């Protein structure tokens, strides 16, 4: 797997996706299924093209003895960011929008490298004030509440 | 053309009233602000403000909405240029070269060029709206299902052909976007498709949360890579010095691009369903095709930036043509504006230009003034606006995340949209890492419904002979020619380049 170009893996994933969703389209009545089936058929064709491109890239890299550079080499930061986002969204219903947002903002600031507590606190206060004034006060949006606001 | 003096005086009197002037200023400032903030778009701003305009006079209310529309398209480019986060889908093409210019230390010039091009594009479009509405409306009247379907396909092929060296990936992303647009209850049979029993999916996947995720959250994730990588986050802070305006030589070089892009913007804007996003890509593609050095596109070429910026603002007036004459919105934002017209008791069509002429012309002239004011405010604030980019990403990241969450929630007051935004954030990150254009998904989601309805209606209308039916229609033939050109031209250009390299 290590020597394969990422396009081969992506192409196979798209092909699998097309097959699964095409079979799901088979359960839809004929008329509303026409367009999805057409799209999925073309998508499957393109996936074969991507696989073919990936295979030729793999072969040429082997020929030229090039090292395969992993695309997701620095994936730890994005993974932590995404997990933190998911936790933040879960906390919104539990703690309320403003409390969860404040905690998330503090986490993101320190994770991304803010060192000053005062700076972080100032950003949290200004951000919450802005969101409150624009969305709650001006546009009358009722943001989710939980144990707190 | 004879000018109705009474009408002109009535229009000027309405525009000179304090509440209309106030709404003009609020609309321009608010629009730039909304567009510049990642996660907030013109469509969302207009949608959020429609309830606020309930108690206003129609002219004041609609001038406010039109000013927000024009200015947000411009404002969306500020973040696209400075932090590679397009505020609106129309600014996605701007981000390509604009951000590269910023990284090169020419962020200020990129902003100045963007402002000037946006004003020129906007003004040309308003003049076109004033002069060309009747003949263009006549052409649009001849459009039927096959043409709508083909316009959608044309938009997608443009995206595909822009993904240089990876057309299959560009077109696959477009197809995936089309598929996403099909999620929900089928508009023609009311049958739920790909909803998996989830009630929230029945109304489909909302465009704005998807867009926020694809552009804003994926950007935060991309930046997070630098935390553990070789590059430090602080090294990405752009250098913002130098000139605000392009040099005389650059300006001379841009004149043709600006003229061409203005026309593209107006025409694409006037075509129903194809908005600023399509126009900016088409103009960008055309500028690249006509450039002496197309290789520099994507690496901070001022022509690429000018093309996208002129076209996306030229769309604003163009998109109002089918909106005001036929009631067909030319873009997502004008679709929301259509709601604003109805709320104020205005019916698009012939009557709007006769019985309510004093209102509609006041809105059009108001849009003209908004474009001028947008340029003045933009140039005056450009140096202050660039300070946004000097704020460390560690401060911007939580603001982007929180605004993305609140922006997605606001669309339907639903946490489901927020989850959609997060999912699209992950998808956007994976796509960007594997060279799939994220803008193709957004564009396909916008064009999806139009493409499907056009396809299925023409399937019925053709009575089994779809190909013959399409070839019998001159407008269909014209658009099919354009599609073919968009698909084949990158291949021909590549072949020619290879041939000339071999010759050397």
Segments making up each domain of chain A, as ranges: 6-63, 76-138
Token pair 């929900």 in the structure block, residue: B184
Residues of chain A with C-beta less than 8 angstroms from the C-beta of B222:
78
Residues of chain A with C-beta less than 8 angstroms from the C-beta of B182:
35-36, 39
Choose between A71 and B179: higher pLDDT: B179
> Phi/psi of residue A145, each to 5°?
-120, 160
**Which 307-336 residues of chain B touch chain A by CB within 8 A?**
none
Q: At what angle do helices B58-83 and B18-36 cross, to 10 degrees?
A: 30
What is the structure's pLDDT at A91? 97
Say whether A43 and B179 touch across the interface (CB within 8 A).
yes
Residue B273 has pLDDT above 60, yes or no: no
Say whether A123 and B395 touch across the interface (CB within 8 A).
yes
Closest Cβ opposite residue A109 in set B176, B398, B429:
B398
Banded model confidence at residue A36, pLDDT cuts 50, 70, 90: very high
Closest Cβ opposite residue A108 in set B226, B398, B434:
B398
Domain, as residue range, for B228: 5-503
Highest mean pLDDT among A2-11, A136-145, B106-115, B419-428: B419-428
Residues 6+ apart with CB under 8 A from A41: A18, A22
Residues 6+ apart with CB under 8 A from B305: B81, B94, B97, B98, B101, B110, B113, B114, B117
Please compute the mean of the pLDDT values over residues A18-26 and round it to a whole number. Answer: 95
Interface residue B235 vs chain A (CB under 8 A): no
Rounded (10°) CA dihedral B490, B492, B493, B496: 160
pLDDT tens by residue, B98-108: 888 888 888 88
What is the structure's pLDDT at B43? 66
Residue B272 has pLDDT above 60, yes or no: no
pLDDT tens by residue, B365-397: 999 999 999 999 988 886 676 565 556 778 888
> Phi/psi of residue B244, each to 5°?
-85, -30
Residues of chain A with C-beta less than 8 angstroms from the C-beta of B178:
39
Residue B128 has pLDDT above 80, yes or no: yes
- ipTM of the complex, rounded to two decimals: 0.95
Task: Return mean pLDDT, chain B.
Answer: 82
Mark residue B298 as left, alpha or beta (left: phi above 0; alpha: psi -120 to 50; beta: remaining).
Answer: left
Say whether A74 and B225 touch across the interface (CB within 8 A).
yes
What is the tally of structural domains in chain B? 1
What is the H or E stretch that residue B66 is in? helix B58-83
Task: Judge whether B193 and A36 are in contact, CB under 8 Å.
Answer: yes
Token pair 């064009």 in the structure block, residue: B447
Task: Judge whether A13 and A59 are in contact, CB under 8 Å.
Answer: no
Closest Cβ opposite residue B175 in set A43, A73, A77:
A43
Choose among B90, B97, B58, B49: nearest CA to B73.
B90
Say whether A78 and B397 touch across the interface (CB within 8 A).
no
- In whole angstroms, give the CA distance from residue B62 to residue B27: 10
Please compute the mean of the pLDDT values over residues A128-148 and round it to a whole number. Answer: 87
What is the structure's pLDDT at B178? 93
- Out of B138-152, B220-234, B368-382, which region has the weakest mean confidence (pLDDT)? B220-234
Say whether B410 and A135 touch across the interface (CB within 8 A).
yes
Distance from CA of B291 to the nearest CA of A (A): 28
């Amino acid at each position: 797997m290590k020597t394969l170009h990422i396009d081969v893996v992506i192409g196979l994933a798209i092909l699998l996706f097309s097959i699964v969703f095409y079979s799901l389209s088979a359960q839809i009545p004929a008329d509303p299924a026409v367009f999805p089936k057409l799209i999925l058929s073309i998508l499957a064709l393109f996936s074969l093209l991507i696989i073919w491109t990936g295979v030729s890239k793999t072969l040429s890299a082997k020929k030229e003895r090039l090292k395969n550079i992993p695309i997701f080499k620095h994936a730890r930061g994005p993974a932590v960011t995404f997990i933190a986002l998911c936790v933040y969204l879960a906390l919104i219903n539990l703690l309320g929008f403003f409390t969860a947002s404040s905690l998330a903002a503090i986490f993101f600031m320190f994770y991304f490298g803010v060192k000053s507590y005062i700076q972080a606190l100032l950003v949290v206060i200004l951000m919450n004030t802005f969101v409150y004034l624009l969305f709650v006060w001006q546009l009358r949006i009722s943001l989710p509440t939980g144990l707190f606001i | 053309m004879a000018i109705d003096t009474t009408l002109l005086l009535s229009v000027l009197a309405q525009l000179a009233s304090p509440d209309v002037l106030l709404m003009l200023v609020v609309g321009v400032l608010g629009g730039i602000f909304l567009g510049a903030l990642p996660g907030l778009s013109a469509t969302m701003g207009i949608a959020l403000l429609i309830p606020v305009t309930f108690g206003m006079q129609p002219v004041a209310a609609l001038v406010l909405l039109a000013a927000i529309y024009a200015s947000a398209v411009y404002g969306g480019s500020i973040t696209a240029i400075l932090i590679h986060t397009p505020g609106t889908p129309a600014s996605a093409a701007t981000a390509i070269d604009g951000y590269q210019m910023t990284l090169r230390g020419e962020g200020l010039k990129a902003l100045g060029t963007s402002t000037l091009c946006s004003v020129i594009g906007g003004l040309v479009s308003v003049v076109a709206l004033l002069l060309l509405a009747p003949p263009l409306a006549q052409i649009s009247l001849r459009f039927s299902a096959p043409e709508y379907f083909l316009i959608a396909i044309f938009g997608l092929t443009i995206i595909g052909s822009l993904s240089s060296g990876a057309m299959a990936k560009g077109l696959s992303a477009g197809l995936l976007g089309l598929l996403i647009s099909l999620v929900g209850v089928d508009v023609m049979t009311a049958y739920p498709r790909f909803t998996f029993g989830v009630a929230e999916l029945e109304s489909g996947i909302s465009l704005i949360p998807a867009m926020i995720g694809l552009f804003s959250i994926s950007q935060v994730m991309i930046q997070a890579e630098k935390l553990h990588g070789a590059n430090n986050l602080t090294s990405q802070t752009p250098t913002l010095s130098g000139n605000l305006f392009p040099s005389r030589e650059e300006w001379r070089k841009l004149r043709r691009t600006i003229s061409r892009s203005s026309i593209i913007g107006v025409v694409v804007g006037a075509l129903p369903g194809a908005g600023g996003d399509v126009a900016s890509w088409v103009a960008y593609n055309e500028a690249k095709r006509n450039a002496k050095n197309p290789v520099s596109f994507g690496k901070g070429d001022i022509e690429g930036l000018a093309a996208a910026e002129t076209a996306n603002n030229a769309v604003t007036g163009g998109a109002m043509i089918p909106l005001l004459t036929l009631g067909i919105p030319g873009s997502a934002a004008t679709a929301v504006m259509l709601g604003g017209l109805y709320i104020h008791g205005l019916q698009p069509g012939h009557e709007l230009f006769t019985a309510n002429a004093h209102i509609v012309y006041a809105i059009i002239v108001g849009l003209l003034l908004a474009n001028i004011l947008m340029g003045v405010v933009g140039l005056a604030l450009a140096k202050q606006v660039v300070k946004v980019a000097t704020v460390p990403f560690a401060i911007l990241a939580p603001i982007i995340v929180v605004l993305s969450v609140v922006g997605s929630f606001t669309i339907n007051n639903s946490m489901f949209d927020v989850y959609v935004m997060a999912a699209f954030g992950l998808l956007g990150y994976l796509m960007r890492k594997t060279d799939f254009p994220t803008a193709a998904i957004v564009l396909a989601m916008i064009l999806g419904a139009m493409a499907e309805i056009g396809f299925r209606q023409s399937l019925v209308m053709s009575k089994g002979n779809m190909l013959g039916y399409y070839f019998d229609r001159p407008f269909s033939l014209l658009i099919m020619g354009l599609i073919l050109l968009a698909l084949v031209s990158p291949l021909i250009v590549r072949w020619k380049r290879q041939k000339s390299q071999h010759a050397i």
